[in-house]
Amino acid sequence: MGSFTVNCLGFLDKTAKDAWMRFVLVDSKKANEEEIENLPSVKGTFTQAGQYQVIIGNDVASFYNEFTAYAGIEGVSKDAVKAAAKTNQNPVQKIMGALGEIFAPLIPALICGGLVLGFRNVG
pLDDT at 110: 93
Look up the pTM and report it.
Answer: 0.53
- Choosing among 3.30.1360.60, 3.40.190.10, 3.30.70.100, 3.40.50.80, the CATH entry for 2-88 is 3.30.1360.60
List of the chain residues with pLDDT < 70? 1-19, 75-78, 81, 123
Query: Which pLDDT tens digit goes with each residue over 100-118?
Result: 889 999 999 999 999 999 9
Residue 75 CA: distances (Å) to CA of 16, 81, 85: 5, 9, 14
Return the ∠ at Cα 15 (arms to 37 and 95), rounded to 5°.
100
Rounded Cα–Cα distance for residues 53 and 90 (Å): 18
Nearest CA to 47 among 6, 9, 73? 9
Q: Render 53-105 in DSSP notation, one character per residue.
A: EEE--TTHHHHHHHHHHHHT-----HHHHHHHHGGGS-HHHHHHHHHHHHHGG
Rounded Cα–Cα distance for residues 55 and 31 (Å): 15
Task: Please state the domain extents for the chain.
Answer: 2-88, 90-123
Rounded Cα–Cα distance for residues 43 and 31 (Å): 16
